[in-house]
């Protein structure tokens, strides 16, 4: 074949022709991109990446909603090409803890619309006759599990895009540089010529960081080994005459799987010690004996896995020959989720990487939507490539978290489980003081944030009566939790508490056009006087939530934006990408300012005692901000509260934050001020006030009317999502966000249980609630409300059930519990008129 | 009948071989290691003969501590014993290698009836270690063997030549250097792998002979044809693309 040169120009260049790149090429073509070039350094259809050695099976059940929905969409796509073979799959338990986890998975299956069943060891044996059932305590049966052919799928999709006239593909073409100009991608340089282009997608799997580096940015992932051997021939499999003759087994307690493939059994492991590779050490296609991503098996690391496989399936695995044994390389990110979306610092550059076979066509479709119309159908914020902005893109961090996360792939991971490595990474100016007070630090977006303080244990006695019925006797419910949180909460409501740092993302917007710009971005009116604030949803054009944040006008030409620490990367990119030619600059203050919240009935007296300014309600009304001096510290004070109390967020230069803490803490002795943790700020206080949390209640699937956040009405000025937002207000909701309380906590075993979130909500008859748009009701947030003496759940309920006093049920790890709708919409349950905030 | 198979740990390379900066060795940073393919057949033959005759099969290597991996593969393929003549990992010339192996064989607890070598190693290709060992031990040898039969006290060995086969009869004990195609070496099973990991390996540390030896000056990689290949498709559906390429090349 002759040496084809690449075209000199294209609209879109996709780097990487694995399952992601080929699917993406198709979906972009399908959505109207008509000038796409796909390049890969390897041959088609298997260019040598992870797609070529994947075990290709799909287990649909996921505890994570984003992964569950993308897996379902990917299955639809594989099935539509007739490349999905349903085999069923069983996760086998070797422990009692795992059986509990299966109950949790059943809740997830019900919440996201999947089929599953917990089965006995005998039933496991019936489905997989060669299993040693003596080792098995039970099974989790997924009837829709199956296997796919991603190479064939990719080939079909690539050809389809080519025959639409939208795609030119180039195998054996190496990208040697990605050129940028003024922060914008301009050219992809290959060994067959250069391509000037508008947009570039890095879909290069484990090579992605290398390409990001060429463009001057970072994609945080690392190649890691997944060990895999293939043994055979096995008569029992041969006799079925099928590609997958028996259900795939995931031996989850040993982090392994056994997947029939013809007359072979593929035995894969995530049990072995983490083996990370440097992307620069991955050999080229020509240098590799098998493929660049299939280096030979590191035998000693696989030894425990061999023993575990042998003991589970001794009859079929013992004497079968090992015909293939590799250290399969795949991509691992710091938190195990994909890295998708437009890169924050290079316009026109996208990432679509670290995606398993089982979700790939879905991520391709949604990324294509994101590229062509600005937003995907399914919320992908957990996979946003910018989520590590400001802290988590270093090689050391990526490697540490990959090492740690690798061991969690099949592990039972508690929803509040904390990472241990690369900590502490971000310490606020309060850190040492908090550590001295016995802070139990949790990490969020790299920040060390106290969840509660052991030094407050004495409050347990003070509030013993209020807390007693809310204690959590079951270990799982109590894990990563403490009833001290409840005591801190009650103390704050009675006296005063200090909370810091909240780990916010903070950036200032400055420029002559800043008012017009913020008007365009926000649902709320931002043409407010200097010193006033606006809490506002940020929508995408479909009316779904892109973010929710607070803006405070600092000057005629300046606003401060305060958002979640994990959201700041995506938010900054969203804002930047809509600046067009406006005179607006974005200045990140996240690491420059330490934030101390002082809240509670005594907050004014306390702050007033050390402030040079008048802190009275007249001089400093709620929801306004001013410059103040607290003791020696010049700070910026913002009278606002996410816990529903009188008080301020005090923003001080980070190097003076410690001094600010000391001033407040010492003056606060008189009021018995206590340090209070994020357990109160993020959960108990918030839940009592009905405050919504981005990523939990607020996401693309639900609109502002459904979330109960239409208090701004529809302003005159245009803003992104206005049409959809106005329409949502006009139309009757399909579902409305409600707050429910658990009315009886006792399980069938007589233990008081406390649902932790993500469980399905059931009708009184036990049916899973589903709205007319097919969205199931599930617990978006759960938290105890000590001032109300209740355990609260938030959930979107179909209109017919969104009625205060409506009795329903929540499913939780094998039992159902009665719940009642306490509130429809956003009016707080605690202090509904917000008297405390305005006091 | 007791058999011995001598094996060498060699890098498992792809189509393109990368050398270290000083051109003294293959850059193995991203490579795995294996037994030379000829020697895998040697192990298989040694194991089969021992099994058939109720003797023992031994694998022997001279090499770095890491070569233990290849010995254990030999055990997993059915060898009963393993001898590791451990070096610091430097390449030894064929003369020093043969001298150390011959000494190792003489020092072994067992005496061997048939000794198998690969016809040449996959990396150095000196073609002489087997011959030198045979000479040192005073044993008959034939090289390039692709079929082996035992007939009482003699071994009948066949070598393929252009247009026919050469058949040799050697009195046992004898040395054979063998080639790929002699048999189909078995893959180890999971169970045998596990057992092999626990097996004992007899280890000795031979002195490197100071005698004049073949000296490697430098490695060179051969010129390669880098023209790309592309799979146009499979089956009848590919016909259109094939025709298109032929037209592009103006051959039709």
| Nearest partner of B137 among B112, B168, B156, judged by Cα | B112
Q: Read out DSSP for B87-102? A: --SPPPPHHHHHHHHH
In a shared domain, residues A669 and A576: yes
Out of A720, A742, A765, a domain closes at A720
> In angstroms, what CA-CA distances link A87 with A11, A259, A261?
41, 10, 11
pLDDT digits (tens, 9 = 90+) for A253-305: 999 999 999 999 999 999 999 999 999 999 999 999 899 999 999 988 999 99
pLDDT digits (tens, 9 = 90+) for A238-249: 999 999 999 999
In a shared domain, residues A421 and A510: yes
The stretch A545-561 carries a mean pLDDT of: 97
In a shared domain, residues A355 and A424: no
Cβ separation A317–B69 shorter than 8 A: no
Out of A720, A738, A765, a domain closes at A720
Q: Which residues of B touch A290 (CB under 8 A)?
A: 14
In a shared domain, residues A457 and A604: yes
Best A207, A283, A311 member to test B by mutation, with max B CBs in 10 Å, is: A283
State the maximum Cα–Cα separation within chain B, in Å, rounded to a whole number.
Answer: 70
ipTM of the complex: 0.84
**Bridge partners (DSSP) listed for residue A180:** A185
Cβ separation A309–B248 shorter than 8 A: no
The domain in which residue A585 lies consists of 414-720
Rounded to 10°, the helix A96-112/A65-80 angle is 70
Quote the CA–CA distance of A474 and A468 in Å, as a whole number: 14
Beta-strand relationship, A9-15 and A193-202: parallel
Nearest chain B alpha carbon to A314 = B191
A/B interface, count of CB pairs below 8 Å: 93
Region class of A404: left (phi > 0), else alpha (psi between -120 and 50), else beta: alpha
Residues of chain B with pLDDT under 50: none
| Nearest partner of A708 among A829, A812, A580, judged by Cα | A829
> Six-digit token pair at A296?
């030979």
Quote the CA–CA distance of A467 and A470 in Å, as a whole number: 5
Quote the CA–CA distance of A259 and A271 in Å, as a whole number: 16
Is the CB of residue A289 less than 8 Å away from at least one CB of chain B? yes
Residue B241 lies in a domain: no
Is the CB of residue A310 less than 8 Å away from at least one CB of chain B? yes
**Contact residues for B103 (Cβ-Cβ < 8 A; gap 6+):** B206
| Nearest partner of A762 among A819, A687, A701, A697, judged by Cα | A819
**Contact residues for A340 (Cβ-Cβ < 8 A; gap 6+):** A351, A352, A353, A355, A363, A366, A367, A380, A383, A384, A385
- Kindly provide the residue ranges of all beta strands, DSSP E only, lying in A643-711, ordered along the sequence: 647-653, 674-675
User: A217 or A700, which is more confident?
Assistant: A217
Is the CB of residue A303 less than 8 Å away from at least one CB of chain B? yes
Q: What integer best gives the mean pLDDT of chain A?
A: 96
The stretch A60-87 carries a mean pLDDT of: 96
Residue A80 lies in a domain: no
> Six-digit token pair at A4?
């084809």
Residue B228 lies in a domain: no
User: B125 or A782, which is more confident?
Assistant: A782
> Six-digit token pair at A172?
């054996």
B8 CA to centre of own chain: 6
Quote the CA–CA distance of A296 and A458 in Å, as a whole number: 58
Quote the CA–CA distance of A747 and A816 in Å, as a whole number: 8
Residue A825 lies in a domain: no
Is the CB of residue B247 less than 8 Å away from at least one CB of chain A? no
> Six-digit token pair at A697?
């209640």
Q: What pTM did the predictor assign?
A: 0.93
Burial of A700 (0-12, 13-18, 19+ CB in 10 A): buried
Residue A821 lies in a domain: no
Residue A140 lies in a domain: no
Nearest chain A alpha carbon to B198 = A303
pLDDT digits (tens, 9 = 90+) for A593-637: 999 999 999 999 999 999 999 999 999 999 999 999 999 999 999
The CATH number that applies at residue A712 is 3.30.1360.120
Is the CB of residue B248 less than 8 Å away from at least one CB of chain A? yes
Is the CB of residue B54 less than 8 Å away from at least one CB of chain A? no
In a shared domain, residues A491 and A355: no
| Nearest partner of A724 among A526, A521, A539, judged by Cα | A539
Is the CB of residue A284 less than 8 Å away from at least one CB of chain B? yes
Residue A826 lies in a domain: no
Which phi and psi (to 5°) does residue B40 adopt?
-60, -40
Residue A43: pLDDT band by 50, 70, 90 thresholds? very high
* 3 state DSSP class of A173: coil
The answer to whether A498 and A675 are in contact (CB under 8 A) is: yes
> Six-digit token pair at A768?
């899973």
Nearest chain A alpha carbon to B29 = A281
Out of A680, A695, A720, a domain closes at A720
Is the CB of residue A288 less than 8 Å away from at least one CB of chain B? yes
The answer to whether A232 and A264 are in contact (CB under 8 A) is: yes
Structurally, how many domains does chain B consist of?
1
Nearest chain A alpha carbon to B18 = A287
Q: Which residues of A touch B188 (CB under 8 A)?
A: 321-322
In a shared domain, residues A640 and A709: yes
The domain in which residue B179 lies consists of 3-221
**Contact residues for B197 (Cβ-Cβ < 8 A; gap 6+):** A299, A300, A303, B72
Cβ separation A287–B18 shorter than 8 A: yes
Is the CB of residue B251 less than 8 Å away from at least one CB of chain A? no
Quote the CA–CA distance of A149 and A155 in Å, as a whole number: 10
Cβ separation B191–A289 shorter than 8 A: no
Residue A618 lies in a domain: yes
Alpha helices in A439-589 (DSSP H): 459-462, 464-468, 475-478, 484-494, 514-521, 568-576
* 3 state DSSP class of B69: helix
Nearest chain A alpha carbon to B189 = A321
Q: Which residues of B touch A319 (CB under 8 A)?
A: 189, 191
| Nearest partner of A322 among A436, A200, A227, A456, judged by Cα | A227
Q: Which residues of B touch A303 (CB under 8 A)?
A: 194, 197
Cβ separation A43–B193 shorter than 8 A: no
Q: Which residues of B touch A2 (CB under 8 A)?
A: 248-249
In a shared domain, residues A355 and A461: no
| Proportion of chain A above pLDDT 70, given as a percent | 100
Alpha helices in A336-437 (DSSP H): 360-373, 395-406, 431-436
| Nearest partner of A576 among A522, A521, A526, judged by Cα | A521
Residue A206 lies in a domain: yes
In a shared domain, residues A396 and A419: no
Q: Which residues of B touch A299 (CB under 8 A)?
A: 69, 193, 197
**Contact residues for A837 (Cβ-Cβ < 8 A; gap 6+):** A622, A641, A644, A645, A646, A831
The stretch A58-74 carries a mean pLDDT of: 95
The answer to whether A788 and A688 are in contact (CB under 8 A) is: yes
Long-range contacts of A352-356 (CB under 8 A, 24+ apart): A352/A20, A352/A21, A352/A24, A352/A201, A352/A202, A352/A203, A353/A20, A353/A202, A353/A203, A353/A204, A353/A205, A353/A208, A353/A219, A353/A221, A354/A205, A354/A208, A354/A221, A355/A19, A355/A20, A356/A54
* Residue B50 Cα, gap to closest chain A Cα (Å): 20
Residue B43 lies in a domain: yes
**Bridge partners (DSSP) listed for residue A779:** A795
Judge whether residue A130 has pLDDT over 90.
Answer: yes
Is the CB of residue B19 less than 8 Å away from at least one CB of chain A? no
Judge whether residue A827 has pLDDT over 70.
Answer: yes
Which phi and psi (to 5°) does residue A796 adopt?
-80, 125
> In angstroms, what CA-CA distances link A523 with A154, A516, A531, A550, A727?
41, 13, 19, 11, 13
Residue B234 lies in a domain: no
A644 CA to centre of own chain: 27
Eight-class DSSP state of A801: G
In a shared domain, residues A390 and A497: no
* Residue B232 Cα, gap to closest chain A Cα (Å): 8
The CATH number that applies at residue A386 is 3.50.50.60
Beta-strand relationship, B81-86 and B202-204: parallel
Residue B147 lies in a domain: yes
Structurally, how many domains does chain A consist of?
2
Residue A102 lies in a domain: no
In a shared domain, residues A556 and A679: yes
Q: Which residues of A touch B16 (CB under 8 A)?
A: 284, 286-287
Residue B111 lies in a domain: yes
Quote the CA–CA distance of B212 and B41 in Å, as a whole number: 31
* 3 state DSSP class of A211: helix
**The pLDDT of residue A787:** 98
The answer to whether A800 and A769 are in contact (CB under 8 A) is: no
Cβ separation A289–B230 shorter than 8 A: no
> Six-digit token pair at A253?
């307690």
Judge whether residue A2 has pLDDT over 50.
Answer: no
For chain A, the first-to-last Cα distance in angstroms comes to 80
The CATH number that applies at residue B53 is 3.40.50.620
CA angle B14, B19, B21 (to 5 degrees): 155
**The pLDDT of residue B89:** 87
A143 CA to centre of own chain: 27
Q: Which residues of B touch A306 (CB under 8 A)?
A: 190, 193-194
In a shared domain, residues A458 and A339: no
> Six-digit token pair at A99?
């059986």
* Candidates A172, A297, A318; nearest CB to B189: A318
The answer to whether A17 and A47 are in contact (CB under 8 A) is: yes
Quote the CA–CA distance of A446 and A462 in Å, as a whole number: 34
Nearest chain B alpha carbon to A289 = B14
Residue B12 lies in a domain: yes
> Six-digit token pair at A27?
């979906």
pLDDT digits (tens, 9 = 90+) for A470-495: 999 999 999 999 999 999 999 999 99
**Bridge partners (DSSP) listed for residue A744:** none
In a shared domain, residues A602 and A506: yes
Those of residues 33-72 in A touching chain B at CB distance below 8 A are 43-45
């Amino acid at each position: 074949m002759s040496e084809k040169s690449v075209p000199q120009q294209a609209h879109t260049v996709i780097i990487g022709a694995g399952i992601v790149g080929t699917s993406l090429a198709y979906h972009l073509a399908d959505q109207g991109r008509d000038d796409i070039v796909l390049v890969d350094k390897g041959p088609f259809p298997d260019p040598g990446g992870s797609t070529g050695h994947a075990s290709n099976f799909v287990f649909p059940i996921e505890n994570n909603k984003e992964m569950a929905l993308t897996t379902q969409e990917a299955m639809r796509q594989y099935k539509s090409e007739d490349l999905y073979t349903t085999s069923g799959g069983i996760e086998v338990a070797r422990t009692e803890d795992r059986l509990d986890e299966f109950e949790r998975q059943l809740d997830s299956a019900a919440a996201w619309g999947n089929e599953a069943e917990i089965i006995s060891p005998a039933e496991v044996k019936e489905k997989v006759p060669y299993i040693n059932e003596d080792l098995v305590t039970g099974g989790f049966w997924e009837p829709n599990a199956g296997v796919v052919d991603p190479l064939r799928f990719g080939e079909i999709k690539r050809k389809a895009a080519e025959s639409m006239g939208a795609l030119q593909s180039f195998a054996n073409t190496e990208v040697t540089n990605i050129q940028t100009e003024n922060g914008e991608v301009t050219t992809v340089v290959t060994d067959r010529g250069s391509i000037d282009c508008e947009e570039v997608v890095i879909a290069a799997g484990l090579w992605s960081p290398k390409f990001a580096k060429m463009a001057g940015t970072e994609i945080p992932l690392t190649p890691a080994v997944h060990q895999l051997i293939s043994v055979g021939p096995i008569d029992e499999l041969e006799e079925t005459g099928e590609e997958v003759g028996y259900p795939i087994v995931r031996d989850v307690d040993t982090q392994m799987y056994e997947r029939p493939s013809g007359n072979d059994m593929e035995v894969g492991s995530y049990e072995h010690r983490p083996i990370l590779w440097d992307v620069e050490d991955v050999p080229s296609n020509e240098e590799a004996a098998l493929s660049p991503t299939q280096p030979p098996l590191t035998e000693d690391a696989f030894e425990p896995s061999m023993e575990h496989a042998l003991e589970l399936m001794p009859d079929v695995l013992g004497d079968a020959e090992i015909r293939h044994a590799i250290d399969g390389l795949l991509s691992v990110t710091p938190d195990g989720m994909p890295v998708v979306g437009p890169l924050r610092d290079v316009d026109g550059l996208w990432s679509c990487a670290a995606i398993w076979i089982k979700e790939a066509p879905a991520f391709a479709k949604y990324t294509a939507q994101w590229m062509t119309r600005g937003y995907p159908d399914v919320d992908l914020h957990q996979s946003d490539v910018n989520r590590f902005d400001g802290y988590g893109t270093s090689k050391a961090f990526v490697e540490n978290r990959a090492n740690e996360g690798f061991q969690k792939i099949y592990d039972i991971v508690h929803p509040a489980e904390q990472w241990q490595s690369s900590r502490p990474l971000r310490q606020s100016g309060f850190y040492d003081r908090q550590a001295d007070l016995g802070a139990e630090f949790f990490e969020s977006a790299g920040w060390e944030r106290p969840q509660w303080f052991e030094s407050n244990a004495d409050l347990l006695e003070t509030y013993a009566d209020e807390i007693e019925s809310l204690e959590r006797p079951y270990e799982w419910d109590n894990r990563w939790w403490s009833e001290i949180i409840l005591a801190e909460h009650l103390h704050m409501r009675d006296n005063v508490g200090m909370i810091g740092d909240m780990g916010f993302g903070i950036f200032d917007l400055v420029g002559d056009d800043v008012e017009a710009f913020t008007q365009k971005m926000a649902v709320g009116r931002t043409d407010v006087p200097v010193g006033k604030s606006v809490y506002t949803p940020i929508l995408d054009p479909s009316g779904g939530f892109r973010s929710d944040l607070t803006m405070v006008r600092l000057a005629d030409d300046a606003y401060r934006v305060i958002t979640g620490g994990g959201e700041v990367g995506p938010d900054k990119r969203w804002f930047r990408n809509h600046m067009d030619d406006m005179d607006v600059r974005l200045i990140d203050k996240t690491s420059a300012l330490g934030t101390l919240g002082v809240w509670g009935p005594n907050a004014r007296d306390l702050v007033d005692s050390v402030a040079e300014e008048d802190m009275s309600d007249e001089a400093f009304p709620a929801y306004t901000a001013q410059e103040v001096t607290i003791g020696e510290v010049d700070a910026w004070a913002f009278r606002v509260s996410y816990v529903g109390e009188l008080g301020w967020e005090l923003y001080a230069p980070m190097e003076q934050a410690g001094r600010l803490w000391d001033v407040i803490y010492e003056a606060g002795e008189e009021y018995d001020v206590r340090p209070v943790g994020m357990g109160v700020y993020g959960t108990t206080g918030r839940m009592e006030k009905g405050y919504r949390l981005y990523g939990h209640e607020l996401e693309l699937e639900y609109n502002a009317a459904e979330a109960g956040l239409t208090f701004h009405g529809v302003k005159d000025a245009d803003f992104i999502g206005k049409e959809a937002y106005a329409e949502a207000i006009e139309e009757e909701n399909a579902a409305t966000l409600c707050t429910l309380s658990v009315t009886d906590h006792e399980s069938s075993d007589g233990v008081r249980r406390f649902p932790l979130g993500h469980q399905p909500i059931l009708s009184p008859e036990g049916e899973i609630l589903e709205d007319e748009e097919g969205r199931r009701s599930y617990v978006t947030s759960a938290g105890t409300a000590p001032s109300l003496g209740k355990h609260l759940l938030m959930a979107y309920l179909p209109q017919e059930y969104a009625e205060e006093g409506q009795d329903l049920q929540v499913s939780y790890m094998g039992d159902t519990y009665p719940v009642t709708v306490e509130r429809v919409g956003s009016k707080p349950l605690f202090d509904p008129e917000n008297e405390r905030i305005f006091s | 009948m007791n058999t011995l198979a001598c094996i060498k740990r060699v890098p498992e390379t792809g189509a393109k071989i990368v050398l270290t900066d000083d051109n003294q060795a293959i850059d193995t940073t991203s490579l795995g290691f294996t037994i030379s393919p000829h020697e895998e057949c040697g192990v298989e033959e040694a194991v089969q003969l021992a099994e058939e005759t109720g003797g023992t099969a031994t694998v022997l290597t001279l090499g770095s501590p890491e070569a233990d991996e290849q010995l254990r593969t030999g055990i997993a393929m059915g060898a009963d014993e393993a001898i590791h003549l451990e070096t610091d990992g430097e390449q030894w010339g064929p003369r020093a290698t043969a001298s150390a192996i011959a000494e190792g064989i003489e020092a072994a607890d067992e005496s061997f009836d048939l000794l198998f070598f690969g016809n040449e190693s996959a990396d150095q290709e000196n073609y002489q270690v087997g011959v030198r060992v045979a000479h040192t031990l005073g044993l008959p040898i034939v090289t390039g063997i692709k079929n082996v039969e035992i007939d009482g006290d003699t071994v009948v060995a066949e070598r393929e030549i252009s247009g026919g086969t050469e058949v040799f009869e050697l009195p046992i004990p004898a040395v054979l250097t063998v080639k790929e195609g002699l048999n189909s070496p078995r893959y180890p099973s999971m169970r045998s792998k596990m057992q092999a990991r626990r097996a004992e390996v007899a280890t000795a540390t031979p002195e490197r002979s100071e005698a004049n030896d073949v000296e490697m000056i430098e490695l060179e990689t051969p010129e390669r044809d880098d023209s790309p290949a592309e799979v146009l498709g499979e089956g009848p559906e590919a016909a259109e693309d094939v025709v298109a390429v032929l037209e592009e090349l103006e051959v039709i």
